[in-house]
Amino acid sequence: MKMKRKNLAPVALFVYNRPDHVEETIKHLVNNSLASETDLFIFSDAAKSDKDIKSVKKVRKVITKIKGFKKINIIERETNNGLAKSIITGVGEIIKEYKKVIVLEDDILTSESFLTFMNDCLDKYKDNFKIKSISGYNYPIKYPTQYKDDIYLSQRASSWGWATWENRWNEMRWDNEFYEKILNNKLVVSKIKKCCDDLYNMMLFQIDGRINSWAIKWVIMHIKNDQYSIFPSKSMGKNIGLDGSGVHKDSTDKFKIEPNILFSYNLPSNIKKIKNIIELQRKFLKYSLKDRLYFGLYQVTRKLKKIVWK
């Protein structure tokens, strides 16, 4: 007889205007071995414009039919928050009560062991403040043949199926002014650029209002505080939203990977035993020559504008 687990983390699922993606995400999530013991909170954002009203209604019709979880809570926003505000407020609401949370957006397909892995890591590392988050997705990276560990560390936290604790979430700052000061700190900037060459430019875009991202601030805070995210060596999630249908309209197969079922894994107590293979991530996410030239020009132009406006 299967023993029920106690004190499982709730799942916060954020949906907007893609009913087909929501159906696929739920279909995979409900197949998780711990789904029936898990509280599910679904945050449905309101339409940003008239053209989205019909699709938002379709999504809300889909989520009312969901079954298979311990408890289902649907929160329908009356005004449009956008993804960043939706995540920040929604996660804040849930984590205040439960002290931990697993977060998904409406385009992440999870393996059957996703919830088990996330809960195991949340339990194992709750008192290790070097760990800020747990990531369920992993990049399609080709590992060295000698690499046998089940998990690894990276400061490049993933937003494609993740988890954290209240005390780590409450460390966050969301105002752009705070991050502008960070980018004036040469030591922190050096650490950001060593982690991955796109993060610095994404933060510039955030400060300048070219993007509206909660995730870039989440990653930057991992780096600033010398904290890490735990990744499974085999991805337990797949992003199906990079088809041009999402908020940022990206379309690429670069991150395509099939979710792995991994119920047997080793989670070492001593964090020093976990290998950090960030260099593989760096190479995978490295800018193309075209991107390097574009962002190099952007940085120069930005500096010149500041000089002119002084």
Query: Could you report how far apart the first and last alpha carbons of the chain are, in Å?
Result: 71
pLDDT bracket for residue 168 (50, 70, 90): very high
- The 10s digit of each residue's pLDDT in 144-159 is 777 778 888 899 999 9
Read off the pLDDT band of 276 (50, 70, 90). low
pLDDT band at 280 (very low <50, low <70, confident <90, very high): confident
- Please say whether the beta carbons of 53 and 272 come within 8 A: no
Q: What is the pLDDT of residue 196?
A: 83
What is the pLDDT at residue 274? 61
Checking if the pLDDT of 249 tops 50, the result is no
Helix (H, G, I), strand (E, B) or coil at 101: strand
| Among candidate residues 159, 115, 119, the one with its CA nearest the CA of residue 137 | 159
In sequence order, what are the residues at sequence separation of 6 or more whose Cβ sits closer than 8 angstroms to the Cβ of residue 207?
A: 176, 179, 180, 183
Which helix (H) or strand (E) segment holds residue 109: the answer is: strand 108-110
Closest CA to 285 of 190, 200, 227: 200
* Sign of the Cα pseudo-torsion (132, 135, 139, 141, in order): positive
- Give the rounded percent of residues in the chain with a pLDDT score beyond 90: 66
pLDDT of residue 259: 80
What pLDDT digit, counting tens, does each position of 203-231 carry?
A: 999 999 899 899 999 999 999 999 999 99
- For 30-68, how does the pLDDT look when each residue is reduced to its tens digit (9 = 90+)? 999 999 999 999 999 999 999 999 999 999 999 999 999
The predicted model scores a pTM of 0.92
pLDDT of residue 248: 45
The pLDDT assigned to 6 comes to: 79
Q: Is the pLDDT of residue 289 over 90?
A: no
Q: What is the pLDDT of residue 241?
A: 87
Report pLDDT digits (tens) over 107-143.
Answer: 999 999 999 999 999 999 999 999 999 999 998 887 7
Q: What is the pLDDT of residue 303?
A: 79
15 pLDDT tier (thresholds 50, 70, 90)? very high
